[in-house]
Amino acid sequence: MKLDCVELTKTIIECFDNSLDNRFSSGERKEFLVQGKKLRGSLVNLLSADFNEGTIEVVEANKSIKEINEKLKEKDRILDCIAAIFSEISKLVSILDDTLKLAAGYV
């Protein structure tokens, strides 16, 4: 079982795109850049990780990635709920960190 790196890459691209979007405040753009870099670091570390089928951490991470991507697609609505999305992205980074620790056990 693998982490959905294609969907995670979409999340990272959206974060970097939003970091350049002047509709967001400079603080929000900076936060998108910071979170995008953190997610990119997680992606690099998790690309080759292979997990046992049904590993709950991976299932949860993949679900979280998909949910965030759906929200990121709606940029106009993002502007209304940016704080909640940053919170969700931070939780995703934490989930990915925990998943990476798990991956280290498989190596």
By three-state DSSP, how is residue 99 classified? helix
Within 3-81, where are the H helices? 5-19, 26-46, 56-72, 75-78
Q: How many CB atoms lie within 10 A of CB 94?
A: 12
By three-state DSSP, how is residue 107 classified? coil
d(CA 37, CA 43): 10
Residue 103 φ/ψ, nearest 5 degrees: -65, -35
**Can you give the pLDDT at residue 75?**
76
**Can you give the pLDDT at residue 40?**
96
Q: What is this structure's pTM?
A: 0.77
d(CA 35, CA 16): 9
Instruction: Check pLDDT > 80 for residue 50.
Output: yes
